[in-house]
Structure 1
Amino acid sequence: MRLGWNLTSGRSYNITAWTSKSDPSPSNYAIAVDHHGQLVIMDGQRLHWRGGPWNGFRFSGAEGMQRDIANGIGFHYVTGPNYVFFSLYLIDPSVIDRLVINTSGTLQHFIWVPDRQLWTFVGMAPRDECDSVTRCGPNGVCHPDGSTLCMCLQGFARRNNSDGLDGCVRTTALACVNGTDGFATQSSVKLPDTSTASVDWSAVSLEECKLRCLRNCSCTGYAQANVSGSGSGCVLWSTDLTDIKFYEGGTGQDLFVRLAAADLITTTGRKHGHRSATVAIIVAPALAIFLLVFVVYWLYKRKKKHGNFSDDDSEETDLDLPLFDLDTITEATQSFSLSNKLGQGGYGPVYKGKLKDGQEIAVKRLSETSSQGSNEFKNEVRVIAKLQHRNLVRLLGCCVQARERMLIYEFMPNGSLDSLLFDPTKSGSLDWRTRYNIIVGIARGLLYLHHDSRLRIIHRDLKASNVLLDKDMNPKISDFGIARIFGGDDTEANTMRVVGTYGYMSPEYAMDGIFSVKSDVFSFGILILEIISGKKNRGVYHDSSFPVNLLDHVWSLWKEGKALKLVDKSIGDSFPTTEALSCIKIGLLCVQERPNDRPTMNTLLKMLDSDISLLPEPTEPGFVNLRGPFDTESSSTNRSNISKNTISHTLFEGR
């Protein structure tokens, strides 16, 4: 295979996608090497994906090329005044590989495994949200598994305190004429777009490359052009640095970003001496003690004045939500009558109501006996108040009056997913198309939480009872009481108190308290398999020799080639078998033992639109068998003991 350009004739060599699965005429999508030596996927004249420049070993943004070398595949890259070519060849003649660019512009690589007589998926591009071109704008770094998708390079700040998607600007102007500029190292990244960069492939050392950049006042950064062997060559940028992606595990390259001296302080150690640090060590504790005494005194005076801490206190002014009057909610729910009660959970009861303008609402009322409801109330407000997505339940406002703490939501006429899915008398209302649309809708809601909202949000309790259905059976993710917002550079967190629902928890969360976006992916995989089968994961299913849970049952059917037996019998035979098999396969990929083996939600949505033969093969899932004397639907663990959870709850009707 050969990709590239003959710059004299203008002839290009590329691989072009079909227009559709049944139409082999060329579409706009093509994989190619551009004039600047970067591997790219083009959508007509628009750049769809950039694999970065050649670095003597691989294209800096093509992550799977290391695996290709291990699999017996080699690469040639040649460039000259009149040509730029890249070719792939087989080190091991027995290897059979296949490159496909599908109708949606995704490049997929497969290797034939003779023993199993099937194509094994090796890699794909684009593979995650950070592969969208210039996803984080100029001078931004995209972190596909980070708590915040877009971060700024050191010495840069977000434009107008935005979410970072429109890029970053310098905090301090460069001072080239003073000779005080320096460089900060951004490690493990896909190098920025080199279409306007200067590339020198000669035997130039990294130190010489640095000096060239310093001597050029317009230079904004540099990197080594050739990282093979001892390294050589020089890449110099003189514009904003765009389309940078961070790689976990050190698979990327080092980028050296030019900064003013003031922005280098954090990287130059203790050059200002130890005296200021000593003063800080002495002053900080004293200040903390003073503040603590002040806060305790203030709370004491407040308690003495009001009798308790909750009567119309400042909490009301901290809630960035419309406030409902208690009399309005009391009237809407007919004084919280039992006939309007929809359900009961650890937070408290939930009631149906109707406002004077006719709008139906669901009122979540904090119970006075709830030990954790107040925390859940504050957390849910904090997390969901500013979220807007069609697949998230909408929080209309709250009521904070007297001793009441209530959340007011839009009402969902079709109730929670579990009330239909696991009821044999109602599951027939969920045909295949409805179930598939619910799967896609939940996936889109999670993608928003993980990647597209202002901050990365981990739900931590995704399950069928926390998915509500509107009048058109569109799914809405609900119950954010134990959700967590990730900030800064966090990609995962650890907790000593595991809260959520057993049967949906990922192994690393249930056993070690470690959670991340991949924990939600695991829960979503369980949910996919429940939606397809109409069975609860924590039920007991018998095969020929011993009882198993749903996950064991699915894996057994998959290995035996009988996966279609999983499909809920209430659907009948009127469903597309290929689509059903794809969903089962994706569900299994979501519940892999290792978090890194699970897809991101961005990749998962692309998988739902891919041919099943192009999906990677799942391995044995991560089994978390927590059945036994603590076999309640929800529980909370403090490592050494297990107690009943008072946060997670299931409502049995619409709300």
Structure 2
Amino acid sequence: MRTTRAPMIRLLLLLLLVAAACCFSSGSVAATDSIGLAESIIGNQTLVSAGGIFELGFFSPPGGRTYLGIRYAGIADRTVVWVANRNDPLVSTPGALRLAPDGRLLILDRQNSTVWSSPAPTRRITAGAVARLGDDGNFLLSSDGSGSPQSVAWQSFDYPTDTLLPGMKLGVDFKRRLTRNLTSWNTPTDPSPGQYTFKLVPGGLPEFFLFQGPKKIYASGPFNGAGLTGVPNLMSKDFIFKVVNSADETYYSYAITNPQLRSRFLMDGTAGVVQRYVWTNGQWSSFWYYPTDPCDTYGKCGAFGYCDTTQAPLCACLPGFQPRSTEQWNLRDGTGGCVRTTNLSCGAADGFWPVSRMKLPEATNATVHADMTLDQCRQACLADCSCRAYSAANVSGGINRGCVIWGVDLMDMRQYPAVVQDVFIRLAQSEVDALIAAARRQRPNRKLLIAGVAAASGVLLLGAILGCCCFWRKKRHAKTAPSSHSDVLPLRHRKHPAASPARNQRLEENRMGSEKDLDLPFFDLEAILTATDDFDPDSKIGQGGFGSVYMGKLEDGQEVAVKRLSKKSVQGVGEFKNEVKLIAKLQHRNLVKLLGCCIDDDERMLVYEFMPNNSLDTFIFGQFVFFAETTSNFLCWDYMCNVLTTVDIFLPQMKKSASH
């Protein structure tokens, strides 16, 4: 019976082994984020980061080859972001990942042969060593299992493939002799190295280049302490971009300020561009990419030429230079570049012409002097016959620091709308003098400029006056329809059923006291209600800061204008009386006469004589007539100015009278 079971058991084990050879997409059978010494993951087993963001395991794209990789786990598109054995795919599966006793990570095939291994660890491995996949996508070997920076013996972040994740570095670690580049996949289904590489080229000022094989096809522009001069739009509220340039290392990195945002920076081998993606609405969306336009092409306009997308043709020569080949230039091929119009004297007789809105020329072969001032830089350039240009090496914070000198032809420049920094191009002094003279000829005449500015200011001022006049005219003559939101106080009729003899007596005493205090006739509310037909909306003739104005007719037939205090006013009885006293003193033949007032509980009203021909503002803020001979009901411009001048003279007299 036992002899019968043994083959069955071996068959079951074989079936399990075959099942383990399934591709990466078949799911995880290991719910852990790490492996220890002598531990392994086999076949379709995976490591999943603690937050479930990334997973590590074997995957098999079309083609029959198997790779160990890291990919997103928590999204529908489980994009691969790192591949361990892109040069050494597994052919004999299932494969296994093992942490060897010496601290190296090994990929083994079905025959237990080593297909790939990580470099020797940089720290002494202890029994507690652990390789753990983090939520940042980094597969990190900790020599003692603590995960501290001091215990890092190896990490996948030091060996990027085609993707840069937040926190990864792109550049060179000179101290550790470690180079971190991005290299595209060969095809969308083949993770082996493709033809495109994005990397830092050390020397001079830091600059990143996109290569197609050995050919440069794009450059980020030198780093000037404030940014990469060829990437002016490298800003976003969701990202923090950083370029570090020190004696130990030079690199580019980025971080995400929004923890919910997922982003990756990809060397796209299909499009031949470096591209940033963000995950939004269930898919990867392009955030930006480079190169973006023809002027981003490396060396588009050759030596001493620059590219400008706002002009046609795109290429132009720097000041003091002319096309090397007019024939090629006319065919819109600027790759031949430009040559000097006048040769240098190679001495102090040469001069410099600044350009400021340019992407800095390629500076990998330039010489940087960190302790020089710009004046010292100028003198050093004049003393060197090979010097073509100079500039500040660092302009962070708007302060020029150090010096960079170009002793080679100026390549890969383009013009931007905004100022980048000053680059001083070395020219023969005669060329500098000619450029200065041309600039002076283009400078507008100062007297004409002042006259033009004055004229324009006058027109703008006149327009502002006209606009204000129209605005105030509309405001003064706006009429509001009655509603529950009216700005007048609710009426309290003296004959209201709720009124009492005691209340009527109190109001009468207040009326007599007010009339004595103000030395002004006091109108009864009932008389005003009768005169205005209970403040009929049809009787409303105006609206002002005080409140609404109604036309009325008293019992003796006199027409009056009644100003009724707005309910928005917080003016008390005492304040109202003081204002009435002041207005009563301002009696003049050119002012509307105040006939009296009314105070009844919350009601405050002023009663004026009625002017049938409207008020002065009707004429001032009405239609403007600029010709005196025009027949119109409105004042002509000259007459209106005269009225305004007279009012200006009269106002101080009114104030003086009021003060007495």
The structure with more radius of gyration: 2
TM-score normalised to the size of structure 1?
A: 0.38
Between structures 1 and 2, the one with greater helix share:
1
TM-score normalised to the size of structure 2?
A: 0.38
